[in-house]
């Protein structure tokens, strides 16, 4: 075996040139750059690397595998495939771990940790030598956290999602997480199925590793990442355990090397046009309401504010085309078999900013052309025959939400879109848990359930508790939906006439804080209005009678969180992670 040529130690070597490659990048500070490189190479050679390997462009791979995160259970196979792609293209792959977050294993809520993960991702990208980074994420908060971190670090970056789980089967019915989790739990609460059946279905809801199989937040963020131009074409839809997913991983590794060579940094991709495309796709897929919060956070890192009114205008002209649960019938694996994002983008083409650049170095329009013609399928509808005539999400305003609120109209009861009712108020989560199933609770199906103090600061972390359960006595009587309002979020897999993200939140003295039992509340999705039928003078009186004390903490991450977290319209990001001056709004229309 020939001995590879040695890299001679050079006292003057180190950060020579404007963009040092590979191991020469970002040298540790010892006051002597030549020594810093000498020392670094000595240590990495301890792992058996040669100088020839260390001279290649370094593609780092953010590994979010964790035993606590079954949505990322295929990460080892993906990393192997990414490494193969990197080496086939002449780069050096370097895996590094970051925080991993799973929805069901993070207390008090995964959203509380998203910004911490984004800081971890950003700082490890900054700290370690790399010319490009592959971000492997999947479960709801991980993809936004990685895109936020990479946007701030601004190096060539490409997203690889873990892919969706397979669907299972319960007594002949196809089931998948987590729309069916909620549906079966609702049946159990209503006494329609017994404890034995609910235990049986528990075995079937998650049939493999991978992310939730419906259009929840993970699938939404996968589609958004592709619409932003941040994944390989076709990267959003292959299920986690398929050969297509592994092939995408290999291609992702190879493309990362190309991006490193061309210095295709993330700021060239995350442009206002890219965010407009992502918003268009969010609306057309009937995506999770969480998608708006995460898009606002990612855009915020690029100095862009999401224009909520423009989003609402886009919603009125963008039909829901994707027939996936919870808005429709199918699952992610069906979307993949129907051609995935290429099928959707082809249909949406007249509404897209085709000039937006993608990680391939080609524009979105060029990628749509390269995907070729479509074929007959029944998962992505045509614009002429949508599953819902307007975009899935409507933006509401009114004296109850001066800073805005949203409703996922495509997953709501059409009969409740124009509704006025009496408020039944829960002051916080504990109050809700303690009273919602009380047989003596004064509530009817026409009432409006109001839950306070589950916003960014209130809970804290804006948990997905906005899906307020139907009071058990009403559920037993057959009530399936009611108007529900909160300053929290809702899982993308949930459904119902649910007003979310009320801004400003109650914990900082938003009007929601002063709603009382018996107040009348009017919801008009048609007029985009959420109104509390209480005069401004009366609200001011209530505020002065019982002023709100904002939550605080003495130490640690909780102190940082409560001091720094922004409201929903700013993505629930930390104020110090966004640039001090915003560059403008997106979409620019």
Determine if 71 is a binding residue for ligand FES (CB under 6 A). Answer: yes
Site size for ligand FES, by CB under 6 A?
12
Long-range contacts of 202-205 (CB under 8 A, 24+ apart): 203/168, 204/168, 204/169, 204/170, 204/175, 205/168, 205/170, 205/175, 205/176, 205/177, 205/178, 205/180, 205/181
Handedness of CA 144, 150, 152, 154 (dihedral sign): negative
The nearest distance, CB 222 to ligand FES, in angstroms, is: 10
Determine if 539 is a binding residue for ligand FES (CB under 6 A). Answer: no
The nearest distance, CB 110 to ligand FES, in angstroms, is: 9
Nearest residue (CB) to ligand FES, 155 versus 209: 209
Which residues have a Cβ under 8 Å from the Cβ of 8 and sit 6 or more positions away?
none
Q: What residues between 356 and 385 interact with ligand FES by CB under 6 A? A: none
Q: Which of 103, 447, 519, 573 binds ligand FES (CB under 6 A)?
A: 103
Determine the interface stretch with ligand FES among 208-216, 291-299, 373-381, 399-407 (rule: CB under 6 A). Answer: 208-216
Determine if 294 is a binding residue for ligand FES (CB under 6 A). Answer: no
Determine if 511 is a binding residue for ligand FES (CB under 6 A). Answer: no
Nearest residue (CB) to ligand FES, 488 versus 504: 488
The nearest distance, CB 177 to ligand FES, in angstroms, is: 6
The nearest distance, CB 451 to ligand FES, in angstroms, is: 22
The nearest distance, CB 526 to ligand FES, in angstroms, is: 32
Determine if 252 is a binding residue for ligand FES (CB under 6 A). Answer: no
Q: Which of 56, 102, 325, 397 binds ligand FES (CB under 6 A)?
A: 102
Determine if 218 is a binding residue for ligand FES (CB under 6 A). Answer: yes
CA atoms of 351 and 310, how far apart (whole Å): 14
CA dihedral 531→536→538→542, nearest 10 degrees, is: 90
CA atoms of 239 and 378, how far apart (whole Å): 19
Nearest residue (CB) to ligand FES, 331 versus 514: 331
CA atoms of 487 and 455, how far apart (whole Å): 5
The nearest distance, CB 74 to ligand FES, in angstroms, is: 13
Determine if 89 is a binding residue for ligand FES (CB under 6 A). Answer: no
Determine if 211 is a binding residue for ligand FES (CB under 6 A). Answer: yes
- Hey, which bits of 245-338 come out as E strands? 304-306
Q: How far is CA 81 from CA 78, 162, 536, 545, in A?
A: 5, 12, 60, 62
Instruction: Assess contact for 118 and 48: CB atoms under 8 A.
Output: no
CA dihedral 80→85→89→90, nearest 10 degrees, is: -10
Determine if 139 is a binding residue for ligand FES (CB under 6 A). Answer: yes
The nearest distance, CB 518 to ligand FES, in angstroms, is: 38
Determine the interface stretch with ligand FES among 6-14, 76-84, 98-106, 182-190 (rule: CB under 6 A). Answer: 98-106
Instruction: Assess contact for 150 and 266: CB atoms under 8 A.
Output: yes
Q: Angle CA(41)–CA(47)–CA(53) in degrees, nearest 5? A: 60
Helices 272-284 & 308-317, crossing angle to 10 degrees?
50
Q: What residues between 141 and 200 interact with ligand FES by CB under 6 A? A: 177-178
Determine if 212 is a binding residue for ligand FES (CB under 6 A). Answer: yes
CA atoms of 512 and 553, how far apart (whole Å): 23
Site string for ligand FES, 304-343 (x = CB under 6 A): ----------------------------------------
- 3-class DSSP state of 326: coil
The nearest distance, CB 206 to ligand FES, in angstroms, is: 8
Q: Look up residue 133 and give its two tokens.
A: 């980074």
DSSP state, residue 505? -
The nearest distance, CB 530 to ligand FES, in angstroms, is: 28
Q: Which positions lie near ligand FES, rule CB under 6 A?
A: 71, 102-104, 139-140, 177-178, 211-212, 216, 218
């Amino acid at each position: 075996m020939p001995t590879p040529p040695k890299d001679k130690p050079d006292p003057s070597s180190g950060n020579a040139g404007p963009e040092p490659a590979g191991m020469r990048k970002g040298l540790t500070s010892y006051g002597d750059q030549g020594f810093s490189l000498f020392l670094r190479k000595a240590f990495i050679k301890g792992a058996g690397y040669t100088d020839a390997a260390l001279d290649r462009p370094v593609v780092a791979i953010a590994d979010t595998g964790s035993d606590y995160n079954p949505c990322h259970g295929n990460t080892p196979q993906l990393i192997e495939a990414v490494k193969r792609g990197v080496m086939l293209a002449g780069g050096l792959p370097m895996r590094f771990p970051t925080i991993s977050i799973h929805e069901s294993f993070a207390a008090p809520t995964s959203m509380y940790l998203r910004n911490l993960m984004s800081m971890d991702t950003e700082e490890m990208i900054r700290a370690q030598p790399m010319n490009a980074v592959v971000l492997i994420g999947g479960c709801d908060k991980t993809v936004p956290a990685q895109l936020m971190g990479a946007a701030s670090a601004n190096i060539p970056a490409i997203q690889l999602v873990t892919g969706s789980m397979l669907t299972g089967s319960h007594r002949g019915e196809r089931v998948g997480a987590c729309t069916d989790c909620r549906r079966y739990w609702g049946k159990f609460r209503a006494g329609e199925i017994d404890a034995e059946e609910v235990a049986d279905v528990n075995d079937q809801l998650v049939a493999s590793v991978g992310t939730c199989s419906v259009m929840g937040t993970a699938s939404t963020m996968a589609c958004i990442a592709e619409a932003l131009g941040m994944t390989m074409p076709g990267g959003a839809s292959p299920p986690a355990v398929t050969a297509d997913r592994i092939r995408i991983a290999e291609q992702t590794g190879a493309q990362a090397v190309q991006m490193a060579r061309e210095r295709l940094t993330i700021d060239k991709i995350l442009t206002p046009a890219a965010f407009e495309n992502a918003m268009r796709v969010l609306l057309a897929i009937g995506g999770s309401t969480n998608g708006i919060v995460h898009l606002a956070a990612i855009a915020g890192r690029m100095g862009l504010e999401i224009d909520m009114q423009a989003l609402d205008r886009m919603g009125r002209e963008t039909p829901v085309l994707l027939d996936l649960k919870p808005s429709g019938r199918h699952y992610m694996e069906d979307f993949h078999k129907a051609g995935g994002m290429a099928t959707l983008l082809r249909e949406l083409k007249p509404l897209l900013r085709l000039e937006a650049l993608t990680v391939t170095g080609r524009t979105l329009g060029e990628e749509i052309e390269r995907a070729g013609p479509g074929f007959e399928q029944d998962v992505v509808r045509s614009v002429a025959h949508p599953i819902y005539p307007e975009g899935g999400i409507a933006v509401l305003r009114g004296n109850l939400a001066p800073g805005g609120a949203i409703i996922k109209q495509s997953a709501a009861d059409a009969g409740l879109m124009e509704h006025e009712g009496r408020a039944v108020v829960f002051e916080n989560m504990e109050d809700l848990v303690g009273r919602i199933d009380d047989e003596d609770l004064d509530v009817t199906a026409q009432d409006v359930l109001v839950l306070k103090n589950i916003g960014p600061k209130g809970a804290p972390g804006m948990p997905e508790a906005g899906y307020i359960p139907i009071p058990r006595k009403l559920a037993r009587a057959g009530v399936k939906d009611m108007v529900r309002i909160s300053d929290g979020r809702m899982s993308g897999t949930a459904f119902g006439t649910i007003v979310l993200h009320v801004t400003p939140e109650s914990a900082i003295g938003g009007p929601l804080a002063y709603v009382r039992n018996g107040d009348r509340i009017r919801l008009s999705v048609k007029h985009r209005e959420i109104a509390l039928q209480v005069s401004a003078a009366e609200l001011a009186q209530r505020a002065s009678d019982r002023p709100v004390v904002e939550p605080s903490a003495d130490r640690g991450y909780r102190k940082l969180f409560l001091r720094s977290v922004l409201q929903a319209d700013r993505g629930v990001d930390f104020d110090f992670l966004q640039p001090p001056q915003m560059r403008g709004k997106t979409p620019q229309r």
